[in-house]
Amino acid sequence: MEPQLQPAADEQRPASTEVAPRSPQPPPEHGRDFDWVFVGPQGLRAGWSLLLFAGLYYLFREVVGTLFFAAGLIHDTPADSAGAVLVTELVPFLSLLAAALVMILIEDTSIDRRIQRYNLAGPRRVRPFLSGMAAGFIALSSLVAGLAWGGWLRLAQPALPAAAAIRLGALWMAAFLIVAAVEEGLFRCYALSTVTRGINFWWALAAQVVLCCYLALDTGRNGAYGVYLAAALGFFPCLMLHRKAAPRSAFWQAAWVTSTFFGFYHTGNGGENWIGVFAAAAIGFTFCVSVFVTGSAWWAIGCHAAWDWAETFFYGTADSGQQGLGHLLSATPAGNPLWSGGSDGPEGSLLVVAAILLLLLILLAFNARNKSESPVAAALPLD
């Protein structure tokens, strides 16, 4: 019996010729090949955010400054009285606020759309702010006392009547609250929070190298060696954090960069010396520590305002190389500028290092009872 022939392959196919549907494939996208350059896991990348923020800030400064000038509120001459400083500092304050509000709309929409997201939230605000004011006044007063004890500062009795002193002191405090809000808003609020989310050690090092090279070429600035010292001192700690892959090392790298830039920010002041510029960077780093341990920049804002107020109004010294008109006491530097600070003021004295360490001790003592991790630390990625 002949074997039954096997049907051809075509004949074995079932009658139904339908093919199982494939999972739909997304259509090819065009024009998105370079999105990664601008957008990262957290939205607009930190570098572009900083550049856009800086552009908006200076644009708004031009607009607001022009409006204030046209209204006769500010003039070409430098502001050195309390009222003039108050009005003049409103220009960068309003510009900073406007730029921050625009960036809130542009950056990642999954993040809280409130200005408090830039290191202004925190569990408490009034208590750290008042504590910072007390710390700033105590630390600056200790510095002035050390200078007077060593014979490097001579204090004269107040010449203002009580009513005039109260009025002028309140006006200076209002002015320095605006100054503190501007400088802390730029460096410890927007810059620190933004740089933290997009930095690593190599980006931090590159920023320091570029800044120092620029400063070396710009010979018109004062106290450049203070910036170089701040950049050098932060190198090995940040390198160690990077090599150990320490948790939240990005925050400390951002603190290194923003603090050095804060020192650079002061090199444009007349009368500055390298100690004063380094002191500005070191105090800036202390303020970064306050953000880490308190959860916000409110301690730094209060401390900054009280420090400047004590220098300019209460003791009548120079403040970062600038002398204000109208003060309670009068102070005159004496002796070696290395110890007296000279035209820079108390910040230009070597004794300022002790005052900065005192600030750190007060800060840590204030937060010693808070055993829980700060909101800023908890929100940072574990690198």
Give the span between the Cα atoms of 132 and 293, in whole angstroms. Answer: 13
Are the C-beta atoms of residues 279 and 265 closer than 8 Å to each other? no
Could you read off the pLDDT of 84-138 as tens digits, one per residue? Answer: 999 999 999 999 999 999 998 888 655 566 788 899 987 778 999 999 999 999 9
Report if residue 318 sits inside a domain.
yes
Give the span between the Cα atoms of 378 and 336, in whole angstroms. Answer: 46
Range list of β-strands (E), 133-266? 153-156
What are phi and psi for residue 336, nearest 5 degrees?
Answer: -60, 125
Give the span between the Cα atoms of 86 and 324, in whole angstroms. Answer: 12
Question: Which of these, 229, 237, 242, 233, lies nearest to 276 by C-alpha position?
Answer: 229
Listed in sequence order, the residues at least 6 apart from 196 whose beta carbon sits closer than 8 Å to its beta carbon are 250, 251, 254, 380
Could you read off the pLDDT of 181-229 as tens digits, one per residue? Answer: 999 999 999 999 999 998 999 999 999 999 999 999 998 899 999 999 9
For residue 360, the model assigns a pLDDT of 96
Report if residue 365 sits inside a domain.
yes
| Whether residue 1 has pLDDT greater than 70 | no
Report if residue 37 sits inside a domain.
no
Q: Is 81 helix (H, G, I), strand (E, B) or coil?
A: strand
Question: Which of these, 200, 362, 208, 196, lies nearest to 292 by C-alpha position?
Answer: 196
What are phi and psi for residue 236, nearest 5 degrees?
Answer: -70, -40
Report if residue 22 sits inside a domain.
no
Which residues make beta-bridge pairs with 154? 332
Both tokens of 202, joined, read 């190599």
Half-sphere exposure at residue 52, Cβ-oriented, CA atoms within 13 angstroms: 16
Give the span between the Cα atoms of 196 and 267, in whole angstroms. Answer: 24
Quick one: average pLDDT of 8-12?
44
Specify the DSSP class assigned to residue 267: G
For residue 110, the model assigns a pLDDT of 58
Q: What confidence tier does 247 reach under pLDDT thresholds 50, 70, 90?
A: confident
The single-letter code of the amino acid at 100 is A
Are the C-beta atoms of residues 119 and 291 closer than 8 Å to each other? yes
Give the span between the Cα atoms of 201 and 204, in whole angstroms. Answer: 5
Are the C-beta atoms of residues 192 and 119 closer than 8 Å to each other? yes
Residue bearing the bigger pLDDT, 20 or 237 = 237
Report if residue 370 sits inside a domain.
yes
For residue 380, the model assigns a pLDDT of 60
Give the span between the Cα atoms of 115 and 10, in whole angstroms. Answer: 70
Q: Domain range for residue 177?
A: 123-379
Half-sphere exposure at residue 381, Cβ-oriented, CA atoms within 13 angstroms: 11
Q: What confidence tier does 80 reach under pLDDT thresholds 50, 70, 90?
A: confident
Are the C-beta atoms of residues 135 and 294 closer than 8 Å to each other? no
Count up the domains in the chain and report the number: 1
Half-sphere exposure at residue 56, Cβ-oriented, CA atoms within 13 angstroms: 21
Report if residue 243 sits inside a domain.
yes
Both tokens of 47, joined, read 């570098």
Report if residue 2 sits inside a domain.
no
Report if residue 43 sits inside a domain.
no
Give the span between the Cα atoms of 146 and 191, in whole angstroms. Answer: 34
Are the C-beta atoms of residues 153 and 345 closer than 8 Å to each other? no
The single-letter code of the amino acid at 271 is G
